[in-house]
Amino acid sequence: MAMDTFSRVVMVVMVFSMWGPFIRAANQGLGASFIFGDSLVDAGNNNYLSTLSKANIRPNGVDFNASGGNPTGRYTNGRTIGDLVGEELGQPNYAIPFLSPNATGSAILNGVNYASGGGGIMNQTGRIFVGRLGMDIQIDYFNITRKQLDGLLGASKARDYVMKRSIFSITIGANDFLNNYLLPVISIGERISETPDGFINHMISNLRSQLTRLYRLDARKFVIGNVGPIGCIPYQKTINRLSVDECVKLPNQLAVQYNGRLRDLLTELNENLPGATFVLANVYDLVLELITNYAKYGFRSSSTACCGNGGQFQGIIPCGPTSSLCDDRSKYVFWDPYHPSEAANIIIAKQLIDGDAKHISPVNLRRLRDL
């Protein structure tokens, strides 16, 4: 039956009322934030997996105002760096976890978070946790989102939205060392048969393929975080029985070696993938600065976890209901044995958004957004 004029008008009004805000946002250049990585930026994907790595238990999220202090699956007391960057760059809502039942329709136009606690560049990374999303799977999921965007906006507008108005954030690599290469039992065969150079070569080769695949799916604005000083986290300091001002050398040496190769990779991709901008976030130096000069930034401790149990630095047991909890979360660089507090994330995020080439290059994130 043919639709009469009145019905057509009503339908147009309904469609615009539903999609109008997002169409206006797209036209204003806000675009979307697509987040890939590990537990540093996971916003709840692991809630929907059968995994030993979960953060949807108290007191995680105690300072996350958007949830009223309830845990959401973020591995910190408040917002992640991904949340903070999205806020500052104009995202009206946080990027929604891909595995969330609500990650459909208009919700994906603000961006989607694919990050997963325990995930890594290498597919075998994090297998001790059983369930987790590695980088390859995360890109598989973005491919699904990419097709959904075509359906929502139309092929031409969706391509423009992804290429020109969206930022792709990748925070990954630490687990490839902590929960793969450095594991004393599960990975001992790999460590005997593969040198650090060989393992890092495989990491860089995989990451090159992964970033190129995202490029072929129309990603153009990238920010890639290097691996932080993983030898300085409370877990490593506790199990190695270090003093307050010491860090474990081998993990940090591996991180520095990988970070040098990552810088070279991004230079290569900037030269060889037309129209793309690959930005390097120097997380290693940013976090090391907070750890070394913590008092300068108003922190009380950069060695002890605010929420944890076991050992000198509360670094053995992950944060949970039975953990010891510090009295002032804003005074600790580390929330738990592995992850920064929201207070530390705020300082790091500010440097990535508006900082200079020492910490973010070749452009900071505000300039990347406006390219």
Q: What are phi and psi of 178, to 5 degrees?
A: -65, -40
**Alpha carbon 71 to chain centroid, angstroms:** 18
Q: Which of 53, 218, 302, 339 is catalytic?
A: 339
Q: Which of 39, 53, 169, 301 is catalytic?
A: 39
Quick: pLDDT tens for 158-212. 999 999 999 999 999 999 999 999 997 655 545 667 899 999 999 999 999 999 9
Instruction: Give a yes or no: residue 42 inside a domain.
Output: yes
Instruction: Give a yes or no: residue 175 inside a domain.
Output: yes
The whole model's pTM is what?
0.91
pLDDT at 332: 98
Q: Which of 42, 63, 83, 336 is catalytic?
A: 336
Residue 62: CATH number of its domain: 3.40.50
Amino acid 149 reads L
Q: Which residue has the tokens 């992950």?
A: 318
Domain, as residue range, for 137? 31-283
User: In the chain, what is the straight-line distance between the N-terminal and C-terminal CA atoms, in Å?
Assistant: 48
Instruction: Give a yes or no: residue 20 inside a domain.
Output: no
Ranking 129-143, 146-160, 171-185 by mean pLDDT, the lowest is 171-185
Distance CA 281, CA 260 (A): 12
Quick: pLDDT tens for 36-61. 999 999 999 999 999 999 999 999 99
Instruction: Give a yes or no: residue 35 inside a domain.
Output: yes
Instruction: Give a yes or no: residue 331 inside a domain.
Output: no
Confidence of residue 145 (pLDDT cuts 50, 70, 90): very high
pLDDT at 184: 76
Q: How many domains does the chain have?
A: 1
Instruction: Give a yes or no: residue 5 inside a domain.
Output: no
196 upstream amide cis, omega within 30 of 0 = no
Instruction: Give a yes or no: residue 321 inside a domain.
Output: no
Residue 7 among the catalytic residues: no
Asked if pLDDT for residue 1 goes beyond 50, the answer is no
Nearest to residue 286, comparing CAs of 229, 364, 215, 231?
229
Residue 336 among the catalytic residues: yes
Instruction: Give a yes or no: residue 98 inside a domain.
Output: yes
User: What is the DSSP secondary-structure string of 129-166?
Assistant: GB----HHHHHHHHHHHHHHHHHHH-HHHHHHHHHHH-
Distance CA 118, CA 132 (A): 6
